[in-house]
């Protein structure tokens, strides 16, 4: 395992570096699992190239480490939301081959940056398309056609104009794409509607590679895979659709700070939302919502110690969480590590009333990040 913060902490006035410090929460990311998930996705799509969505700092896991790992697994196309993220991805790639696409479109003020860094803007409306033609017609681009998500992308009227008027002529269009709204619901009628719309568009532009499927879209089958797939979540963790799953690459390890014995009537944490009805042993661990563990993960949320379930008690606070040791078999000491996320990511997300995407991208920056593989 390779820790990101391995340098000693230097304090003015001290003659020696402080290398032995108290146990701190750490985030463990297994890059080998990411590589394995990538190869599994590529095997599911033998007729298509598997790209990787690495926006939001590679879903909170660290683009600086994740992008090279994916490149080493064979990935050659990367997607980000903002130009700043594109610069991070390009820097992470170093001299490795790879194209970096920026979802949020073309802005003339960024023309020099896009050229210099070799970033490919994704055009989302006719205004952006016209600006590209005026300011940077030689800049490689991708075109996003909206087929039913109704967020970004050329709408039906704009799409028809592009096709009828040849507005892509003499542009360097590397890819056309659309995005599925309901891929995680395999039987949703909108999936087929979007597919038919995108097939018509790609059929009118047969010489340009087409990309349609996100993680869950890959699992809808070959009809949805086209030339390039764009998985995100499936690379890192969780189930992109019910009944499916890929190995989770990340876990939080939070050290025990204190073990306590509570008596009936004792409450735990802010608001006294949980009260003991019997003698109970608890542990207070060093992690909280400042680290990205949502308050909604409290009371009954899942954590584990030596593989055994130790449910969360009461509210999650900024830096501390209490866990229930009632059923834990064995001794517990300060400095022992309690695990959060890992294989429990989807279950904890469901308990919190959210999705695994949110838990991932909220992972805090103060973790000591440790990378395996």
Tell me which of 55, 59, 236, 289 is the catalytic residue. Answer: 55
Determine whether 270 is an active site residue. Answer: yes
CB-based burial of residue 6 (10 Å sphere; 0-12 exposed, 13-18 middle, 19+ buried)? exposed
Could you tell me which of 78, 117, 123 has the C-alpha nearest to residue 105? 123
Question: CA 36, CA 41: separation in Å to the nearest integer?
Answer: 9
Spatial CB neighbours of 164, under 8 Å, sequence gap ≥ 6 = none
Spatial CB neighbours of 261, under 8 Å, sequence gap ≥ 6 = 279, 280, 281, 282
Determine whether 15 is an active site residue. Answer: no
Question: CA 295, CA 288: separation in Å to the nearest integer?
Answer: 8
Q: Count Cβ atoms below 10 Å from residue 11 Cβ, excluding itself.
A: 10
Spatial CB neighbours of 139, under 8 Å, sequence gap ≥ 6 = 106, 111, 114, 115, 120, 121, 132, 172
Sign of CA dihedral 152, 154, 155, 156: negative
Where are the alpha helices (H) located in 274-355, listed in sequence order?
345-351
SS3 303: coil
Tell me which of 15, 59, 270, 357 is the catalytic residue. Answer: 270
Q: Are strands 308-309 and 304-305 parallel, antiparallel or unpaired?
A: antiparallel
SS3 277: coil
Q: How far is CA 12 from CA 6, 17, 20, 22, in A?
A: 19, 10, 17, 19
Sign of CA dihedral 216, 222, 223, 225: positive
Question: CA 177, CA 149: separation in Å to the nearest integer?
Answer: 12
Could you tell me which of 322, 267, 281 has the C-alpha nearest to residue 300? 322
- Catalytic residue list: 55, 270
């Amino acid at each position: 395992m390779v820790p990101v913060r391995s340098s000693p902490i230097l304090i003015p006035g001290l003659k020696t570096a402080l290398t032995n410090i108290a146990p701190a929460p750490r985030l463990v990311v297994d890059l080998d699992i990411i590589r394995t998930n990538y190869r599994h996705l590529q095997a599911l799509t033998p007729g298509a190239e598997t790209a990787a969505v690495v926006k939001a700092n590679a879903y909170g896991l660290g683009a600086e480490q994740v992008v090279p790992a994916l490149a080493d697994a064979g990935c050659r196309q990367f997607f980000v939301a903002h130009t700043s993220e594109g610069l991070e991805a390009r820097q992470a790639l170093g001299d490795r081959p790879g194209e970096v696409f920026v979802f949020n479109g073309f802005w003339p003020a960024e023309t020099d940056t896009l050229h210099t860094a070799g970033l490919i803007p994704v055009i989302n409306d006719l205004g952006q398309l016209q600006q590209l033609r005026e300011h940077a017609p030689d800049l490689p681009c991708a075109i996003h056609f909206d087929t039913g998500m109704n967020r970004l992308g050329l709408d039906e009227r704009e799409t028809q104009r592009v096709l009828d008027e040849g507005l892509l002529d003499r542009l360097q269009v590397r890819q056309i794409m659309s995005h599925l709204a309901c891929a995680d619901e395999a039987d949703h009628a909108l999936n087929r509607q979007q597919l038919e719309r995108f097939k018509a568009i790609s059929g009118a532009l047969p010489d340009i590679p087409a990309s349609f499927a996100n993680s869950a879209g890959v699992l809808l089958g070959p009809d949805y895979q086209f030339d390039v797939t764009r998985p995100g979540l499936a690379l890192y963790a969780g189930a992109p659709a019910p009944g499916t799953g890929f190995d989770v690459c990340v876990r939080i390890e939070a050290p025990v700070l204190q073990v306590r014995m509570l008596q009936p009537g004792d409450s735990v944490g802010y608001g006294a939302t949980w009260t003991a009805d019997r003698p109970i042993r608890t542990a207070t661990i060093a992690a909280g919502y400042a680290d990205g563990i949502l308050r909604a993960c409290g009371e009954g949320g899942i954590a584990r110690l030596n593989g055994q379930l130790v449910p969360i008690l009461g509210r999650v606070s900024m830096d501390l969480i209490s866990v229930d040791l009632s059923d834990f078999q064995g001794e517990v000491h300060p400095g022992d590590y309690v695990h959060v996320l890992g294989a429990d990511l989807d279950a904890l997300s469901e308990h919190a009333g959210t999705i695994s995407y949110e838990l991932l991208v909220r992972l805090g920056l103060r973790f000591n990040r440790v990378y395996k593989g």
